Structure 1
Amino acid sequence: MQRTWRRITILSSVAALATAFVAMAPAAQAETPTSAVEVSTTTVVPGQTFTLTQTIHNDRDFTVTFAKGAIYGTPTPIVDVVDVVSCTNTTAVGCFQAGGSYRAAFGDLEAGGTKTTVWTLRVKDTATPGQFTLQHQFVGDNYSFDTYDGPVMTVANPATNADVKVALAATGHGGLSARIDYTLTVTNNGPSAATGIRVVATYASGLSFASATGCTRVGTTRALNCDVASLASGASATAKFSVNGGLLALGSYTTTAVRTASSPTDPTSANDSASKTCSALTGLIVTC
């Protein structure tokens, strides 16, 4: 009985030690995928530009020659949906189309090596609204890795609105006239083209109109109509006007610019206006 008890005790101790060693062993790390992607957005409209970051990893024990990151689309080929604007960190070969895929060339990639490229892609104006799965792969001349499914991309119908943004800058000039020069910038953030844009700029009392380019003074008031006939999505236009404070100008003067009209609908009102405050000290010193 005593020997049996000792045997049981020893076996129990061995089992306890084994359990402790298992508990102390580091957890297995997830393997690095041979291709991984991230996109800046998964919903796009025709004409929109977005980015796709792709990282390839060579988990083989040999060099992969002429390594490339490949991107595909299913069931719609990606080449029917987007055009390549650029890709970074590649060889002189750059990025190119190969059949129904686009590929970014990295050159030879050693065992354990990793390369990353940032694709800049533009949705074709003719892209059909719908969904497709973005696929990606690490491809070499002497070895090709698994193809992975990436995010589901949605090509939405073009929105019927245009976000017009207003910005105002000012530069002060001290002297007899105490002149302030204003630059108004109107930007169409899209997604549609904008037409019939009107921005009304109003300068502070105590200032007098001097000149304008791209704006028209409204009678003898302190308001100016600054009109832009049309702006494509992503485009900007500038207008300029100047006012005088005179030698006796003193204090703060605030000028505002507000979008009052544009077509189609502007969905964002937060950027429809801008203002700029300048200060004058007897007209000799004007700061903005």
Structure 2
Amino acid sequence: MHAWKLIRAALGTAIVGATLAAVPVTADAVPPTSAIEVNTTSVARGQTFTITQTVYNDRDFTITGGKAGLYAKETSLPAMVELVSCPGAFACDTLGTSVRGGVADVPPGESRTVVFTLRVKADAPLGTITLQHQFIGENYAFDVFDGPALTIVQQPADVAVTMTAAVKMVTTARITYTITVKNNGPDPATDVRVVATGPAATAYYASTCTRVGTTRTVNCDIASLANGASVTRTLTVNTGMLTAGTLTATAQRTASSPNDPVATNDKATRSCTAVTGLLVRC
């Protein structure tokens, strides 16, 4: 009987020991001294985006005059963006290569969050940068951390084509089609080409564009066109004595850079009506 009591006591001790070993005591994870979240990783010139930065004091003393700081690893961040607003900070500005939001004194174990709204400058270089962030105080500066990559892209340029027509009587009718090419933006357009073709029942006369061989087709090339700017080009054709019916010319954008987002205004047509080669109305 005594032996059984000893065995039972030993088993109880083993079970209790096993239970205690299965429940280790762990400390709460300490947050990083700076962390950021970006609402997008691709943004165009002229557009805004937000960076939410949370700073945390893991020291055993108060960080005085604390600031949330943002940088671009490869360049100066203020050279690429404009500061729009910074809710959560009592003040924000740019300093040197950084954007900063003041969070005042931060006692040990406390955090502060600032939401920066930034606008990409119109002349910001295209490409990808690495965002960096840091918690800075008047009495202590924490490590600088690499954040997500941010790509600056070019906005599209909507090139619109319209056409008018005017007739002048010479030996027969001479019709001048005026082509207007306008950049509705938002970005500048480059390497624009508009191809215009005169009506089938006419003969090529002249153009401010480049004629394609001996055809009634011309290539109107425009090296660059600023946002909101427009240019005009002309194509002039002659009717014959027996010309009759509807005389329709076309002009269409066939190339431009960057991407053109609106296809519906890329092409224009203009029609005139010939009773004979001597009587044409446009």
Q: Classify the TM-score, shorter chain.
A: 0.5 to 0.7
* 1:42-81 correspondence runs (5 A): 42-81=41-80
Flag the 1:13–1:65 CA change in 2: closer, same or farther, 3 A: same
Identical counterparts, % of pairs: 41
The answer for the alignment partner of 1:89 in structure 2 is: 88
Q: Contact between 2:57 and 2:110, CA under 8 Å: does it hold in 1?
A: yes
* 1:158 shift after superposition: 2.5
The normalised TM-score by structure 1 is: 0.51
Q: 1:265 aligns with which of 261, 267, 272?
A: 261
**Secondary structure in 2 aligned to 1:90?**
coil
**Secondary structure in 1 aligned to 2:94?**
strand
Q: 2:133 aligns with which of 129, 132, 136?
A: 136
1:120 has 2:151 as partner:
no
* 1:89-108 correspondence runs (5 A): 89-91=88-90, 94-108=91-105
The answer for the alignment partner of 1:32 in structure 2 is: 31
Matches of 1:21 and 1:191, distance apart in 2 = 68
What is the CA deviation profile of residues 177-199 of structure 1, one whole-angstrom value per residue up to 9, with x for unaligned ones?
A: xxxxxxxxxxxxx8659xxxxxx
Segments of structure 2 that go 5 or more residues without pairing to the other structure are 160-184, 189-226, 229-258, 265-282
Matches of 1:11 and 1:143, distance apart in 2 = 56
Flag the 1:59–1:157 CA change in 2: closer, same or farther, 3 A: same
The answer for the alignment partner of 1:159 in structure 2 is: 156
Matches of 1:156 and 1:11, distance apart in 2 = 73
1:149 has 2:150 as partner:
no
Flag the 1:155–1:10 CA change in 2: closer, same or farther, 3 A: farther
| Count of paired positions | 173
Which structure would you say has the larger Rg? 2
Matches of 1:149 and 1:122, distance apart in 2 = 21
**Secondary structure in 2 aligned to 1:145?**
coil
Q: Give the RMSD, CA atoms, in angstroms.
A: 3.5
**Secondary structure in 1 aligned to 2:142?**
strand
What is the CA deviation profile of residues 64-109 of structure 1, one whole-angstrom value per residue up to 9, with x for unaligned ones?
A: 1000000011112212221111111222xx1112221111011111
The normalised TM-score by structure 2 is: 0.52
